[in-house]
Chains A and B, each alone.
Chain A
Amino acid sequence: MPIVINIAKDYTKTPGGREKKDGPFSGEDFRETILLPKFREAERLNEKLIINLDGGYGYGTSFLEEAFGGLARIIKDEKVMNIDIISDEEPILIEDIAAYMKSALQGS
């Protein structure tokens, strides 16, 4: 069974900015409290990790870059690219997130 994170249901419908110091529901906080632990769990159980971006009010670019790019900078491995992203409400975010992770991997 894949591990699914629905950000709007499991975290917030109103994601904030990049870092915790910027305000509540930051990308950094999401990564630390939900994304990274679930990624590790999926790895341990050898399951797919699926992130559903739908159901909220939209995302700031810095939230996504800090969450997903930040994850790639921590993991430092192409396996982060195996995460499945669902975004029917804003499909372009799927490409954007892939680009953040790729760029973060190239930079690390």
Chain B
Amino acid sequence: MLVPIILSLSIVYLGYRNYKTESFFDINFTTCLSLLIVIWISFVLVEKQTDLRKRKDALADLLTAIQKTVIEKEAYIITENTMTEYLTMRKRGLNNKIGLLKKYGKEFGLEKDIEFLEEKANEYGEIIGNHIDDKTYLSKSAQELQRPLNLIDDRIYEIMLKLY
């Protein structure tokens, strides 16, 4: 940020110093070319930064979606009437979102954090999977289910802070 400010101030100063000279508005080919190159390089660099920012924002949205999945009460408060399909679909949704994180989070150096999220999601999935037909057991396992989900929630806050 400092460099463009210094450059801008320098140009303004030069403009001021040359203002009253006869050839103030004259410009040669080399100067034109230099200006053109600088403008295009700046444009490309700004676009790159914008794209990076957009990817970070998309990743943040994905992390927020994961958080929403894990903090919902229905994720860990299961009753005798909870349908198996809801349990397996929730597990699938969580796995798929973490899969996306794994694929696109490498760019931001988040491998270890994503590995952690994956481990905890697997822990949650195993509990559900091992007792999918025993809703009585699952209905008494709110704490056991909530444990990995809370850890996922906490780690996501840390990832968000690292991203920005």
Bound complex: CA A56 to CA B87 (Å):
12
Q: Among A13-21, A31-39, A74-82, which stretch is in contact with chain B? A: A13-21
A61 within 8 A of B: yes
A1 within 8 A of B: no
B15 within 8 A of A: no
B interface, over-half SS: helix
CB <8 Å contact, A60 and B128: yes
The chain B residue with its CB closest to the CB of A93 is: B95
The count of residues in chain B whose C-beta lies closer than 8 Å to any C-beta of chain A is: 20
**A interface residue count range (under 10 / 10 to 19 / 20 to 34 / 35 or more):** 20 to 34
The chain A residue with its CB closest to the CB of B102 is: A92
CB <8 Å contact, B92 and A90: yes
CB <8 Å contact, A60 and B99: no
B136 CB to nearest chain A CB (Å): 12
CB <8 Å contact, A16 and B85: no
CB <8 Å contact, B130 and A61: yes
- With contacts A16-B133, A17-B131, A92-B99 taken as known, whether A61 is within 8 angstroms of B125 at the C-beta atoms is yes
- Which B residues have a C-beta under 8 Å from some C-beta of A? 84-85, 87-89, 91-92, 95-96, 98-99, 125-126, 128-134
